Amino acid sequence: MPGANESARVWDPAQRILHWGLVVAVALAWWAGEERLSLHIAVGYVVISIVAARTAWGLFGSRYARFSDFVRGPRAVFDYARQIVRRREQRYLGHNPLGGWMIVALLLCLAVVCTSGFLYTTDYFWGMGWLEQTHRISAWTLVVLIGLHLAGVIFTSLRHRENLVRAMFSGHKPVADLRDTAE
Ligand code: HEM
Ligand code: HEM
């Protein structure tokens, strides 16, 4: 049985570097926008690369990085949501069922943002209104998802009295009370 102060290595270095790299690159892409288009496109390529790398890592990476570890079926997601309402949800070392789908949603949305942005830079698609709209709408959808992502991180950190942001830097999470539910 693990001791009260024992911690486990959960997030591997690649996950952590890719996560914080993604945060910086997405923030820069927003800041650059249309006014600094060459910077926007350059960091956009960084975003594409990180999304591709994280997706590959989801298939071949370490235990908690894999999609198979955190993408769960509708019943598990529904049960988890119901447990939250009853304040009895279990604590997960990896991503919880709702957080897992949020990650899939973030990666998919980023893929749409980047693909539409990239296509818009090609001669064939340049100037096509629907593509510009797709890029704009998906970029704003991304903002909403990021807001929900942050709300989820704050909520879960408060509920289980642990600092999930710090864990995304250190890679470590306490193992004590793993199956515990919030009172
Ligand atoms: C996370 C990544 C990205 C975000 C958040 C983002 C966001 C945005 C936003 C908000 C705009 C202004 C849209 C408007 O109001 O019309 C824009 C414009 C643009 N973006 Fe991105 N973008 C991203 C990645 C990319 C990538 C990867 C490319 C290309 C390789 C790209 C190419 C463009 C182009 C060409 C425009 C100008 C469109 C126009 O002339 O109206 N973007 N982007
Ligand atoms: C551009 C904005 C952001 C995007 C696109 C994003 C995306 C993601 C992704 C894809 C993951 C999964 C990481 C993995 O499994 O490798 C994740 C997890 C996480 N993110 Fe973000 N993130 C963003 C901003 C932030 C910010 C600003 C914070 C904190 C201040 C944050 C805190 C976390 C934490 C704590 C986790 C782990 C959640 C858990 O414990 O299950 N994220 N994020």
Q: Give the residue, out of 135, 138, 145, with the most ligand 1 atoms within 8 A of its beta carbon, to mutate for a pocket test.
A: 135
**What are the residues facing 181 on neighbouring strands?**
90
Q: Are 162 and 174 in contact (CB under 8 A)?
A: yes
Distance of alpha carbon 46 from the chain centroid: 16
Record the pTM.
Answer: 0.93
Q: Are 130 and 159 in contact (CB under 8 A)?
A: no
Predicted local confidence at residue 175, as pLDDT = 87
Q: Are 168 and 94 in contact (CB under 8 A)?
A: no
Side chain identity at 10, as an amino acid letter?
A: V
Alpha helices in the chain (DSSP H): 13-32, 37-60, 67-70, 74-85, 97-120, 129-159, 164-170
Q: Are 154 and 160 in contact (CB under 8 A)?
A: no
- Tell whether ligand 1 has an atom less than 6 A from the beta carbon of residue 117: yes
Side chain identity at 181, as an amino acid letter?
A: T
Predicted local confidence at residue 54, as pLDDT = 98
Q: Closest ligand 1 atom, CA of 48?
A: 27
Q: Which of 27, 24, 28, 18 is nearest to 51 (CA)?
A: 18
d(CA 6, CA 28): 37
Instruction: Measure 143 CA to ligand 2 centroid, in angstroms.
Output: 13
Predicted local confidence at residue 79, as pLDDT = 96
d(CA 80, CA 99): 11
Query: Each residue's pLDDT tens digit in the chain (183 positions)?
Result: 445 568 899 999 999 999 999 999 999 999 999 999 999 999 999 999 999 999 999 999 999 999 999 999 999 999 999 999 999 999 999 999 999 999 999 999 999 999 999 999 999 999 999 999 999 999 999 999 999 999 999 999 999 999 999 999 999 999 876 643 332
**What are the residues facing 172 on neighbouring strands?**
9
- Tell whether ligand 2 has an atom less than 6 A from the beta carbon of residue 95: yes
- Tell whether ligand 2 has an atom less than 6 A from the beta carbon of residue 26: yes
Instruction: Measure 22 CA to ligand 2 centroid, in angstroms.
Output: 9
